């Protein structure tokens, strides 16, 4: 681990990044707790109204400078950001592991994945600034031009702060915007440390204000912010959407997932169990696209449950700075919430196959064992996002039943199916009500393919060309190469043809 990371975390504590500089926050300060050790690892300050004004003003100035640059210069600058993200991935990754607990391998990966998004959008925006339409008037040029929205507010969660901010910032900056990020109260120092990657951009183009929901509300409501990208809970997303709608600000919202994972008899059960363990337990289950509801055909149900439990038992639990697969939950409240979820499932009749409690070791930290439960679809656990390392498995008798139960949810982000039958795969693709379907390949994504969901999952798309469009507006432009009178102008000529159409009607 980088020896200077904790020193840098101390330096960043209680600060904001505004107009290219770290400034001391003047608002209320809060302690940050390392979830693996339960020791303090820093603090953050609530941004004040005055600090919000400073940031928004700086963003407006920087955005005008950024958009005045050539597309080639913006592309080169974004590639430099990508290189800095890669160079700083280890330091930022250690900070993230100390703040929210995930294994360092996963934290380190986020920096490289964010860099990939910057490289993708740097090139996409360079080659896509609008289109030429066939003119409706001979001799003219008719265009659709693409323009930035202005200043984007990014409110990112604790579970993948580097990756998700990377997705949003890459698209927003490539489109010509400035961006102000309000990180989660659990991972503010990670985002502040990430600001080093944007050192070559105009001061104020990328800024960080820390704090709670009140800071987000001020940013969303400000008259000089122009779009909002939000990832979080459904109730919080609804509040953001309402506030933005009152001001006609476009929103990109990813609110929740409760992803099904279907296993059919034709599947390689061993691979399905390994894939299921990865989909359910990655980042201690704190993934919006985690496999939350397993629907396994009765012909392979017992074998799958046995193999999934074996995978779960083999996972190493401990500090994310050690060689482990499962770190702690990000907060004590989250760990306690999981205990209540399992207890409720057991009360309703669930069988605990493995896990279901705090591990005996290490004895400190907010850890929860990887858990496999046998359940019925009617149990509460199948109708709400666990957001933890819990895999509830339900027996089904057919693909029809599996799809029906998969669709019995008010959210629709992702869905998985393991099958070797092409017809089953295409039925799942076409019939499951989700924005993403993975066939035999859980949790993969692609910078060039849009990511998002249906129902109460949210609105809009990240990644792909669609992700760029979230942060641009279209302008219709019509150019006549020389000025000349149009025959449709006033005064209207006397025209017997119109009078013939009108007949005897009085004008």
Using H for helix, E for strand and C for coil, what is the string for 46-106?
A: CCCHHHHHHHHHHHHHHHHHHHHCCHHHHHHHHHHHHHHHHHCHHHHHHHHHHHHCCCHHH
Of 169, 199, 194, nearest to 89 by C-alpha is 194
Q: Determine contact, residues 99/191, Cβ cutoff 8 Å.
A: no
Q: Determine contact, residues 293/263, Cβ cutoff 8 Å.
A: no
Residue whose tokens read 């506030």: 243
Cα gap 123→76, rounded to integer Å: 9
Q: Which of 41, 95, 288, 394 is catalytic?
A: 288
Cα gap 389→467, rounded to integer Å: 30
Q: Determine contact, residues 254/261, Cβ cutoff 8 Å.
A: no
Our answer to whether residue 147 is catalytic in this structure is no
358: DSSP letter: -
Q: Determine contact, residues 410/457, Cβ cutoff 8 Å.
A: no
Q: Is 127 exposed, middle or buried (0-12, 13-18, 19+ CB in 10 A)?
A: exposed
Q: Which of 254, 325, 374, 424 is catalytic?
A: 254
Helices 213-221, 49-68: crossing angle, 10 deg rounding: 50
Our answer to whether residue 254 is catalytic in this structure is yes
Residue 211 backbone zone (phi > 0: left; psi -120 to 50: alpha; other: beta): left
> DSSP 3-state assignment of 375?
strand
Cα gap 232→404, rounded to integer Å: 27
Active site residues: 254, 288
């Amino acid at each position: 681990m980088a020896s200077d990371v904790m020193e840098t975390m101390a330096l960043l504590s209680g600060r904001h990044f505004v107009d290219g500089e770290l400034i001391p926050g003047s608002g209320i300060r809060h302690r940050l707790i390392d979830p693996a050790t339960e020791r303090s690892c820093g603090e953050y300050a609530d941004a004040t109204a005055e600090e919000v004004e400073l940031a928004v003003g700086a963003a407006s100035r920087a955005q005008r400078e950024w958009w005045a640059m050539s597309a080639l210069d913006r592309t080169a600058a974004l590639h430099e950001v990508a290189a800095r993200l890669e160079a700083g991935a280890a330091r930022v990754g250690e900070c993230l592991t100390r703040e929210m607990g995930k294994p360092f391998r996963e934290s380190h990966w986020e920096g490289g994945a964010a860099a990939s998004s910057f490289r993708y959008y740097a090139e996409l925006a360079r080659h896509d600034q609008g289109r030429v339409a066939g003119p409706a008037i001979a001799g003219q040029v008719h265009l659709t031009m693409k323009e930035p929205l202005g200043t984007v507010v990014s409110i990112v969660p604790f579970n993948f702060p580097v990756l998700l901010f990377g997705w949003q910032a890459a698209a927003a900056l490539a489109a010509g915007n400035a961006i102000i990020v309000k990180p989660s109260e659990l991972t503010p120092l990670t985002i502040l440390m990430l600001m080093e990657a944007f050192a070559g951009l105009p001061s104020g183009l990328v800024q960080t204000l820390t704090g709670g929901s009140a800071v987000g509300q001020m940013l969303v409501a400000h008259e000089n912010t122009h779009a909002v990208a939000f990832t979080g809970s459904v109730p919080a997303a609804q509040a953001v959407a309402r506030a933005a709608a009152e001001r006609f600000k476009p929103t990109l919202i990813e609110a929740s997932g409760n992803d099904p994972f279907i296993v059919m008899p034709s599947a390689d059960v061993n691979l399905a169990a390994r894939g299921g363990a990865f989909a359910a337990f990655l980042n201690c289950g704190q993934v919006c696209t985690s496999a939350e509801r397993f629907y396994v055909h009765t012909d392979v149900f017992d074998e799958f449950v046995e193999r999934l439990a074996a995978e779960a038992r083999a996972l190493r639990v401990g500090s994310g700075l050690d060689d482990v697969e499962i770190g702690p939950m990000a907060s004590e409240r989250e760990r306690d919430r999981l205990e209540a979820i399992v207890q409720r499932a057991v009360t309703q009749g669930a069988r605990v196959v493995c896990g279901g409690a705090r591990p005996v070791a290490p004895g400190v930290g907010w850890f929860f064992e990887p858990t496999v439960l046998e359940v019925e679809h009617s149990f509460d656990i199948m109708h709400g996002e666990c957001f933890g390392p819990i895999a509830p498995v339900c027996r089904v008798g057919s693909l029809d039943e599996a799809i029906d139960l998969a669709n019995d949810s008010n959210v629709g982000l992702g869905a998985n199916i393991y099958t070797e039958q092409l017809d089953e795969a295409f039925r799942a693709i076409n019939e499951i009500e989700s924005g993403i379907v993975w066939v035999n390949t859980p949790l993969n994504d692609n910078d060039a393919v849009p990511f998002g969901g249906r129902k109460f999952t949210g609105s809009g798309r990240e990644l792909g060309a669609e992700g760029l469009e979230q942060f641009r507006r279209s302008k219709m432009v019509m150019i006549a190469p020389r000025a000349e009178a149009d025959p449709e102008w006033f005064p209207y000529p006397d025209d017997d043809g119109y009078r013939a159409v009108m007949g005897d009607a009085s004008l």
